[in-house]
Amino acid sequence: MIAIVIASHGDLAKGLLQSATMIFGKQANVATVTFREQETSDDLMTKYQTVLSKFESTDSVLFLVDLWGGSPFAVASQIVSRHSDQMALLSGVNLPILMDTFTIRDQPLDKVVAHLESSGRKGIRHFEPKPRHEGD
């Protein structure tokens, strides 16, 4: 089963996990990492290393981060670059993507990443109400 690290600026990661747990139930091998305004990239690396040390060394790991190019992304990309055979990184995490990840995390990492890229694109929708007719 794929281990999941949700990382964000501020408490977004914690909020996403809390909401997903309400809907989907508690999940094993899921951790959050928050990046605070006063912290450095070194602090973030330490946080990542701490959560990774709690996973089995044989686990594949998927990093779901909030923003492409932000500090959580940049530091995670350093880790993933050194372990690309068993780690992957996606940005733009949101609640539907996190819950989708929970449903398919027993599949190989490359299949999970491809699925999430596709479902993430389909997940943004615009609701357009039908025009009201007089007398409705």
Instruction: Return per-residue pLDDT of the chain as tens, 136 residues.
Output: 899 999 999 999 999 999 999 999 999 999 999 999 999 999 999 999 999 999 998 889 999 999 999 999 999 999 999 999 999 999 999 999 999 999 999 999 999 999 999 988 888 888 889 888 776 5
pTM confidence score: 0.91
Instruction: Indicate which residues carry an active-site annotation.
Output: 9
Question: Distance (Å, rounded) from C-alpha 82 to C-alpha 126?
Answer: 39
Burial of residue 23, with CB atoms counted within 10 A of its CB: 0-12 exposed, 13-18 middle, 19 or more buried: exposed
Domains, the chain: 3-122 (3.40.50.510)
Question: Distance (Å, rounded) from C-alpha 3 to C-alpha 121?
Answer: 23
pLDDT at 59: 87
Q: Which residue, among 90, 70, 88, has the nearest Cα to 10 in the 3D structure?
A: 70
Phi/psi for 79 (5° steps) reads -65, -50
